[in-house]
Structure 1
Amino acid sequence: MKRFNDDYTIGDIMKEFIKESKLEKGLDVVQVKELWASLMGPTIVNYTTQVDFYKNILYVTLSSAVLKQELALGKQKIIDLINKELQKKLVKDLIFR
C-alpha cells in the first residue's frame, strides 16, 4: 500500500485500501443487495425470497408470479435506478426467478 501524506482524508485512504485489498467486488455485492431492499420498498421485499449478484447480473427470486411479471416490464428502469444510486454502471442485467 502506498504511503499517504497528511493531505488525504480517511475516505481516500479507505478507498485505496479497499482497492488494493481486492474487497471492492464483495462490497459491491452487499451494496446491490441493500439497494434492492431500500429502493423496492417493504411490499416488494416481502415477496422477495432471495437476491444474488454475480458477474454484473442481479438475480431476484420472487414468490409472486404476478409481481414478477410486473417488475419484468420495468426491468431497465430498475437497473438504471440501482446504477444511479451506486454512481457507477455495475448492474448490467436483471433476472427474475
Structure 2
Amino acid sequence: MAKRNNEHISISDALKEFVQTNNLEKGLNKVNVADAWAELMGNGVNNYTTSVNLERDTLYIQLTSSVLREELSYGKEKIITMLNEQLGKEIIKKLILR
C-alpha cells in the first residue's frame, strides 16, 4: 500500500510524483512526441505521416511520400531542435525518416 502524504500539495506535483513512482515517463514521452509532431508539422505533413515511434532517444517517422521524406531529411537537425523545445526537454537525439 502506498504511503499516505498528510501535507497539502498541488495536483501537478501529485501527478508528477505519481508518474515517477510508477515509471510512466517513457510512455508519456511517446504520446507527447506524437502530439508535438502533429502540432509542429501541421496538416500538410500529417496527411502523409503513417506512424510516429519513439524508441530510446531515436524518433522513427513513417511517411507515405518519398518526396516529402527527402525534403524533411534536409532539415533533420532543425526538426529535432523544434520538437525538443516543444517538449521542454531533450528527448530526441536522432530522427529517422522512413
Q: TM-score range, shorter-chain basis?
A: over 0.9
- Following TM superposition, where does structure 1 have runs of at least 4 consecutive aligned residues deviating by more than 3 angstroms? none
Query: How is 1:11-22 mapped onto 2 (pairs within 5 angstroms)?
Result: 11-22=12-23
Alignment partner of 2:62: what SS? Answer: strand
Instruction: List gaps (5 residues or longer) in structure 2.
Output: none
1:4 Cα deviation after fit: 5.3
Distance 1:74 1:4 in 2: 50
Percent identity among equivalent residues?
45
Q: Distance in 1 between matches of 2:41 and 2:35?
A: 10
- Alignment partners' CA distance in 2, 1:4 and 1:76: 47
> Which secondary structure state, in structure 1, belongs to the residue aligned with residue 47 of structure 2?
helix
Aligned to 1:74: 75
Instruction: Provide the C-alpha distance between the structure 2 equivalents of 1:70 and 1:17, rounded to a whole number of angstroms.
Output: 41
Give the 3-state SS of the residue equivalent to 2:72 in structure 1: helix
2:33 alignment partner, SS class: helix
Structure 2 counterpart of 1:60, one-letter code? I
Give the corresponding residue for 2:85: 84
Alignment correspondent of 2:7: 5
> Helix, strand or coil: the match of 1:58?
strand
1:96 is aligned to 97
Alignment of 1:2-81 (within 5 A): 3=5, 5-6=7-8, 8-81=9-82
Aligned equivalents of 1:79, 1:58: Cα separation in 2 = 9
| RMSD across aligned positions (CA) | 1.2
Give, as a single letter, the amino acid of the residue that structure 1 aligns with 2:7: N
